[in-house]
Amino acid sequence: MKAKDKNKIIERYENRLKDLGPVQESLGWLKGRQKLRFFILKNIDKFNNNDSVLDVGCAFGDLKQFLIKTGWNGRYIGVDIVPDLISQAQKKYKNIDARVLDILIDEINDEIDWVFCSGALTSKTEEEDSYYHIKKMLIKMLEISKKGVSVNFCSPNVTFESDVNFHPNFDKILKIVCSITKRFSLIHDYMPYEFTLYLYKDDKVNTDINIFSQFNELHNTLK
């Protein structure tokens, strides 16, 4: 992300935090839907309760607490480019591993099973094409992960668009995804104005029967 875009985003979130305090509304979300959003993120195929998670754009680190309440006990790392949000996460949750970090610039040397990203790719970029930025982020997140990426976006099927949010066209976003992995899902059945993408690292194909290898066992049980 270009410095001008990055600084604008940081300034916007820091100003919201000053005006509203550490609440969901300061992140640009309406109150009351966060848990559903998190549930959809973790509903990615083969997510296990001992898997490690990198939360990109972690804000207050609330995803960690949600996962714990669902029975998860893996390692959590939260990263965000907004220093004030990371400070709030560290105040809110004792011993949380929350870092001021830009995954496109800074190294992640930890072993990560899944990368979850809620809201970090909903902002428009002006100095850099938004689709180009999204592609770079998806490539990097899949590269970091051992198993895959779960990431949400603003839907293009809306009646209103704000000046700061980006609503990617389905055709364009899927063209990007198809250039990165053959195995993916687009989930648009839980909220009318948002959608989630699942991108899988293992996209090997059983060419004998033309199914993804991850489904070999299921296929055999259905014979």
Residues 15-48: tens digit of each pLDDT: 999 998 888 888 877 777 899 999 999 999 999 9
Confidence check: pLDDT of 150 > 90: yes
CA distance 38 to 110: 22
CA distance 4 to 127: 7
Q: What's residue 26's pLDDT?
A: 82
The CB density around residue 126, as the number of other CB atoms within 10 Å, is 10
CA distance 46 to 202: 11
CA distance 41 to 26: 21
Select from 88, 100, 127 the least CA-distant residue to 6. Answer: 127
CA distance 66 to 42: 10
CA distance 155 to 10: 23
Confidence check: pLDDT of 73 > 90: yes
What confidence tens digit (pLDDT) does each residue in 178-207 have? 999 999 999 999 999 999 999 999 999 999
Q: What's residue 5's pLDDT?
A: 94
Expressed as residue numbers, the domain containing 165 is 3-221
Confidence check: pLDDT of 89 > 80: yes
pTM, 2 dp: 0.95
Considering its fold, how many domains does the chain have in total? 1
pLDDT band at 223 (very low <50, low <70, confident <90, very high): confident
pLDDT band at 141 (very low <50, low <70, confident <90, very high): very high
* Domain CATH number, residue 57: 3.40.50.150
What is the β-pairing status of strands 76-80 and 145-154?
unpaired
pLDDT over 70 percentage in the chain: 100
The CB density around residue 186, as the number of other CB atoms within 10 Å, is 14
Q: What's residue 41's pLDDT?
A: 98
Mean pLDDT score across all residues of the chain: 95
